[in-house]
A and B are shown apart, each in its own frame.
Chain A
Amino acid sequence: MGETVLSLTGVNGWYGESHVLHGVDLDVRRGEVVSLIGRNGAGRTTILRAIMGLLDRREGRLEIRGHNMSTTPAYRIAKAGLGYCPEERGIFASLSCEENLLLPPVTRTDGGMAMSLDEIYAMFPNLKERAHSPGTRLSGGEQQMLAIARILRTGADILLLDEISEGLAPVIVQTLSRVIQDLKARGFTIVMVEQNFRFAAPLADRFFIIEHGRVVEEIAQADLAARADDIRTYLGV
């Protein structure tokens, strides 16, 4: 595994007046897939939003590729090579599928990570067929693929994916699983928030367990079987 490309140290976060992140420490290395797991409301989505600068207030240190980005405005975070796929997918209703796909500006051309439109359409053939449909006429699975696809052509090499398997049919979840493996093979660094542990389990190199707005434990892929009972307790299943 490579050097640390994304790190949070003592990050606190607020939605309005309510304090939701309490000292998050987290590091992600180049080319790895990590998964944030935990109960609903534990703060997993909020951690991704904190990284993207989408909270009302954030304190603590955020470093991307060793650069301190703690006070960087939200619109500059993406330029550091981050691609964000929000939980609600964020497909724009007034834009066609292709307009949605082309919306995020290409922010880095030097990294060589940007996929061309042809490569993206090869990975998600459905999106090509639906290019001119309004974004919200797409099926749930197509919308999810669109939400992932559109951050692949910007040059971002760190992908933050929030609950991408949520509410989708098993066959589509399998497709997404292959997509994640493919992206990992291409060298993308991926941070996944997942409720569906069975989806995340074979994909992630490391798991961060989130409780009450902080990271309470880190488990490596190799220890997964041995720690299965603990994980079950943490997830409350």
Chain B
Amino acid sequence: MTEIFGVPAPVLYGQLLLGLVNGSFYALLSLGLSLIFGLLNIVNFAHGTMYMLGAFLAYLLLEPLGLGYWWAILLVPLLAAGLGIVIERTILKRIYKLDHIYGLLVTFGLTMVIEGFVRVYFGVSGLRYAVPPSLQGMVDLGFMRLPIYRIWVIVAALGLCLVTWLVIERTRLGATLRAGTENPSLVQAFGVNVPLLVTLVFGWGVGLAAFAGVLAAPLMQLTPQIGHSIIITVFGVVVIGGMGSILGSIVTGLGLGLIEGLAKVYYPEASSTAIFVLMILVLLVRPHGLFGKQ
């Protein structure tokens, strides 16, 4: 069997694929986190919770309501965005003028509350969400066999990242958004309803997280804690990529997923810390992140 640096090739490819899948989730989540931080100036600790909620909402749509995966992937991001909009209008808008730490604290509080509800309703034992029938099975590439569902995850996640990026970089709305990130009060003085823009961006970011949650649902045991483990890594991604950088989030998310995958093959002990070691190194050399501006 072919080996690459002492590792059987199929094992390496498998881990790289897994890395790409994880990287896609990191990209979707850190993209939303970056957008929200850019315009709202809030470090949204509840972002992982929205991802968790996305997965559980998909489950909820299936179990009592009988609405399958494709309904979930359509409806759950919208439901979550709606919830995000309510949270922004009722809670977050009160703290924009305060220090970042308040945003972190209040969203951390939200995390606790939402997780508490999920724990009470679903328990902590972990639920399974089946891969939809249309995406079951494998593709044989000759050198490795790819599960169709994982390919779908990568394509869907990166597709949505690309759409988001295009909207931000290539449209009038995106230009207004970028300007609002730089100087919201001046954009407001030009007659743009910035509070509305802020609400929509928060909804959008939360929707992206919930979309990631639905994509991830068939890949893992659903427990209320799944948001925790991912949000810490995603914070690392955002810091490495540069706070507020859209492209940085996407590229870094994918890159770190791959690095994690490689670490799992060559030095498994470091796989969960690799990102943070990298974060420290990046912060030493470029305190504003790889893609961040001064």
Contacts and interface: CB of A to CB of B under 8 A. Distances in A.
A104 B181 CA distance: 15
B179 interface: yes
A115 B65 CA distance: 56
Interface in B186-245: 186-195
Interface stretch (B4-12, B70-78, B102-110, B170-178): B170-178
A77 B193 CA distance: 11
Nearest to B177: A94
A158 to B, nearest CB: 13
A74 interface: yes
A92 B191 contact: no
B189 A102 contact: no
Contacts of B293: 93
A78 B186 contact: no
Contacts of B176: 103
Interface in B27-78: none
Interface residues of A, number: 25
Contacts, number: 62
B240 to A, nearest CB: 20
A74 B178 contact: no
A130 B92 CA distance: 39
A13 interface: no
Interface string B77-89: 0000000000000
A137 interface: no
Interface string A193-215: 00000000000000000000000
Interface in B145-200: 172, 175-176, 178-179, 181-183, 185-195
Nearest to B197: A75
A53 B178 contact: no
B188 A90 contact: no
Contacts of A79: 191
Contact of A99 (B175, B181, B191, B194): B175
A75 B186 contact: no
A105 B191 contact: yes
B175 A102 contact: yes
A85 B108 CA distance: 40
A75 B178 contact: no
Given A90-B183, A93-B182, 6 more contacts: A54-B185, A75-B192, A75-B193, A77-B189, A84-B190, A92-B182
23 contacts: A54-B188, A75-B188, A75-B191, A78-B189, A78-B190, A79-B191, A84-B189, A92-B178, A93-B182, A94-B178, A94-B179, A95-B179, A102-B175, A103-B179, A103-B187, A103-B190, A104-B190, A105-B190, A105-B191, A105-B192, A107-B191, A151-B190, A154-B190
